[in-house]
Structure 1
Amino acid sequence: MRIDVRNVTKKYKDTLALDNISFTLDEPKIYGLLGRNGAGKTTFMEILSGHILATGGEILVDGEKPFDNQRLTESVCLIKEGNNFKRELKVKHVLRIYSLFYPTWDQELADDLIKEYNLNLNSRVKALSKGMASALGIIVGLACKAPITIFDEPYIGLDAAARRKFYEILLEEYESEKRTIIFSTHLIDEVSLLFEEVLIIQDGKLVLKEEAENLRNNTCAVTGSAEAVEHFIKDKEIINKKELAGMMTAYVYGSQEQAEAAGLSVEGIPIQELMIHLTEKKGA
């Protein structure tokens, strides 16, 4: 399903959460939606899922607005960090409700995940630990098989092994049946290899939208004498640079081969580091 974001603005009283952002997601991929706390990521996801309205502009899914649109509501699933389900419901009732709501629901997958995470079907949501509540959200997000599935920090409380299992199952399900998956997380290093495209939002603005492979191939950290590094980066777009005792390290958009040919030490930039430096950049 094609997602068109057109000049979207969202204000909460005096706070500008989204500031006239525009972009298009036009094919099924795993998208990494990154940014610091308060950048506007959750607001964007809530508008896309039809939970709230934009103050200005619009988000269209296959040409239609998602708000108060049952066809699209059945095609978009948002799993947030917490408070996804009514606290008084039992786990089995939550799963039953979602199985009836989503026409693409995969009960066999849900059953497998219940066993994987050892979830008690008779427990009430309010009695679940943070980890078990996260597991329930993950089960719903994966088993719904919604064409647009959004995970907003979905694994709070899960240990490293349980998170790893989630990533593995997510990738397996995506490979078997492509859908648009939007993944917002602060544990970027853990999941960055899953991302096919990366979007970075800062202060309500889109800072970067790029294929993950291009980012890995076309950004690098170069280190050498300050003179040599300055000479190399003079015609390049600089993300960040720092100098100490006559030596300099610069984060740049540029070929690693070029930097090596210039006699500089070269390393790739992890996507988490790239996000940090881009969102620190004044005027980004």
Structure 2
Amino acid sequence: MIELKNLTKRFDRITAVDNMNLTISDGSVVGLVGSNGSGKSTLLRLLSGVYQPDGGEVLVGGKKLFDNPAAKGECYFIPDFPYFYNNSTINSTAFLYRNLYPNWSEEQFNRFCSVFPIKRDAKIINMSKGMQRQAALILALSTCPKYLFLDEIFDGLDPVVRHLLKKILIEQVSEHNMTVIIASHNLRELEDLCDRICLMHKGRMLMERDLDSLRLCFRKVQVAFLEMPLVPNIFEGIDVVNVWQNGNVFNVTIRGTEEDFMPQLNALNPAYVSAMPLTLEEIFISEMEEAGYDVNSIL
């Protein structure tokens, strides 16, 4: 289990992670999303013991990781830009990792080397961005981590390798109860993989929820009228996130299910009304707008 208790990390005057509290059960796949500079990468470095907290604490498997090599042996962190020495190959790095990680599996190493199309004796630094990520994944998965932290891991991977990675992660979670936390802007990939989503903004956790329940909590609704209803506010009493109007047609994002708002809308005798679930990207945009993120000025 991962526990964050009033976790805080500062860099000079910038608070990258601000008094954060969170609990993540073992065997979960958690997507970490948020605006640029929201603190996602900093949080992953705190979780993996790279950074020491300035306040509060982070416990992974009940242990503090900073300056704790034994606990770090159960974790693996792949940053946005994996680092390798100039002469590093998969084979030479594996030789080092055999002595560093207590759960290293030679069987898994050979298996993943055969699954990913990477030359084991080629210099990793000369590989493309996507191939370097695949090399990092081979080494990470061969350590058989109990906790795997991934930062923008899908960036640079082609569609076939992305599909392969998701399949492998699901397999490792189901067979070995591995916990995976993925920070990514690729919300479509997270939607296929994660069972829980955490939304960060300015170092704080805006929202954390199971993905299935999150999908049920929002609807995009289009409603059209032949004649506008004679009421001061058509959507009064409905939890509206945002509204876009074009004449007698309204496109509305509503927090709730059809049972919550359809009776009220149907009572207004619309010519047409339709409700659909939001995608994860649409939920992200609506929540960021509500948090004060000026989406319109960017888009």
Does the C-alpha gap of structure 1 residues 165 and 53 become closer, same or farther in structure 2, counting only changes over 3 Å?
same
Does the C-alpha gap of structure 1 residues 282 and 200 become closer, same or farther in structure 2, counting only changes over 3 Å?
closer
Partner-residue secondary structure (3-state), 1:122: coil
Aligned to 1:241: 243
Aligned to 2:257: 255
Task: Name the CA distance, whole Å, in 2 between partners of 1:239 and 1:70.
Answer: 47
Q: How many residues align?
A: 282
Are the equivalent residues in 1 in contact too, given 2:238–2:261 (CA < 8 A)? no
Say what the alpha-carbon RMSD is for the aligned residues.
Answer: 2.3
Partner-residue secondary structure (3-state), 1:207: strand
Aligned to 1:27: 26
Is 1:270 aligned to residue 272 of structure 2? no
Larger radius of gyration: 2
TM-score (norm 2): 0.86
Aligned to 1:281: 290
Answer with 214-223 or 274-283: which moved more.
274-283
Task: Name the CA distance, whole Å, in 1 between partners of 2:116 and 2:7.
Answer: 38
Aligned to 2:218: 219
Task: Name the CA distance, whole Å, in 1 between partners of 2:25 and 2:205.
Answer: 17
Letter in 2 for 1:246: N
Deviation digits for residues 140-191 of structure 1 (CA, Å, limit 9, x no counterpart): 2322221111111123322112111111221122222211110111111123
Answer with 5-14 or 98-107: which moved more.
98-107
Deviation digits for residues 104-161 of structure 1 (CA, Å, limit 9, x no counterpart): 2332232222122221111122222212101011212322221111111123322112
Deviation digits for residues 34-87 of structure 1 (CA, Å, limit 9, x no counterpart): 112211000001011000112222112233321001221011111112133323
Is 1:122 aligned to residue 121 of structure 2? yes
- Residue 16 (structure 1) shift: 1.8
Task: Name the CA distance, whole Å, in 2 between partners of 1:106 and 1:154.
Answer: 22
- Residue 225 (structure 1) shift: 4.2
- Residue 12 (structure 1) shift: 1.1
- Residue 283 (structure 1) shift: 4.8
Partner-residue secondary structure (3-state), 1:198: strand
Task: Name the CA distance, whole Å, in 1 between partners of 2:155 and 2:279.
Answer: 23
TM-score (norm 1): 0.90
Partner-residue secondary structure (3-state), 1:42: helix
Partner-residue secondary structure (3-state), 1:37: coil
Long gaps (5+) in structure 1: none
Letter in 2 for 1:17: A
Are the equivalent residues in 1 in contact too, given 2:146–2:179 (CA < 8 A)? yes
Letter in 1 for 2:197: V
Aligned to 1:148: 147
Task: Name the CA distance, whole Å, in 2 between partners of 1:240 and 1:114.
Answer: 49
Task: Name the CA distance, whole Å, in 2 between partners of 1:240 and 1:144.
Answer: 46
Partner-residue secondary structure (3-state), 2:133: helix
Partner-residue secondary structure (3-state), 1:186: coil
Aligned to 1:95: 94
